[in-house]
Amino acid sequence: MAETYNYEFFNVSFPAEFVAHVEINRPEKLNAFKEVMWHNLSALFDKLSVDPNVRAIVYSGAGRAFTAGLDVQAASEGGTFAPPTVDSARKANGLRRHILEFQDCITSLEKCEKPVICVMHGISFGLALDMSLSCDVRISTQDTKFSVKEVDIGLAADIGTLSRLPHAVGNMSWIKDVALSARVFGSDEALRVGLVSRVAKDKEAGLKEALDLATLVASKSPVAVLGTKEILNYSRDKTVAEGLNYTAVWNAAMLQTDDVKEAMLSGMQKRKVKFAKL
């Protein structure tokens, strides 16, 4: 199955039944992203999203870092910051389109139908937070160093951190503290404010925890897991009343699945539950 996922700068493996592991693979540059990488990221997760043989995904980085963020040198050489236009308005519109395209690529992690568990180790700057905040579960290690790095290169973070971090962490003072200063902080602080849900000893331990969790999630009804992720993401941006109404409409269709009967029967018959592929 892995051979069908041939995307430059990414390793894809299938370490357990219904579980995929996606690894950023540019370790010589601390997994810093250039343009082809975020296009490949989007294509890869769009494909995993509809793959019936995948029910949960682990996302990590090869080498000494999760990612150092955007490869600023490659971006500047490629004209990312200065599209070849004459008029200021046209230049601005070109940049707007480029930013929206980049945002959509990172949002593919969030839109993926399958839960994505992110393991961050070592340097996890800038884009690392954009991507991890689009994932469903975040695990870090004792050596993880985080930074909302963009102000250090003259930018307001524009790919997702400033929009998603307030939903992930309920302390606006802390959010502004780290976003305005670009200061580096560690896993103890990230755990304390709720940015991550657990801290592993090292990368190997973090990947094991993520794989164990992904394997557990993959053993559940894929219909139930899909609905849970969809409803949680929808409700995050809506009122409680809107969330409840959406849940009722969603489950009016999804409660008709055979998975409910299969789960109940397997429990009564004391056998391993087997759900059909989605």
pLDDT by residue, tens only, the chain of 278 residues: 778 899 999 999 999 999 999 999 999 999 999 999 999 999 999 999 999 999 999 999 999 999 999 998 877 776 555 556 578 898 889 889 989 999 999 999 999 999 999 999 999 999 999 999 999 999 999 999 999 999 998 989 999 999 999 999 989 999 999 999 999 999 999 999 999 999 999 999 999 999 999 999 999 999 999 999 999 999 998 999 999 999 999 999 999 999 988 888 887 887 888 899 99
- The one-character DSSP state at 136 is S
> pTM for this structure?
0.93
pLDDT of residue 263: 86
pLDDT of residue 271: 81
Q: Domain-by-domain residue ranges, the chain?
A: 2-218, 222-268
Same fold, 2-218 and 222-268: no
User: How far is the C-alpha of 190 from the C-alpha of 254, rounded, in Å?
Assistant: 36
pLDDT of residue 262: 87
User: How far is the C-alpha of 272 from the C-alpha of 24, rounded, in Å?
Assistant: 34
Starting at the edge strand that comes first in sequence, how are the strands of the sheet with 56-61 ordered? 10-16, 19-24, 56-61, 116-120, 137-141, 198-200
pLDDT of residue 245: 97
DSSP string computed for 55-85: SEEEEEESTTEEE--B-HHHHHHTTTTS-S-
User: How far is the C-alpha of 267 from the C-alpha of 210, rounded, in Å?
Assistant: 26
User: How far is the C-alpha of 134 from the C-alpha of 165, rounded, in Å?
Assistant: 10
pLDDT of residue 72: 82
Identify the architecture of domain 222-268 in CATH.
Orthogonal Bundle (1.10)
Which CATH topology does 2-218 take? Answer: 2-enoyl-CoA Hydratase; Chain A, domain 1 (3.90.226)
pLDDT of residue 62: 97
DSSP string computed for 142-197: TT-EEE-GGGGGT----SSHHHHHHHH---HHHHHHHHHH---EEHHHHHHHTS-S
pLDDT of residue 114: 98
Specify whether the CB–CB gap between 140 and 120 falls below 8 A: yes
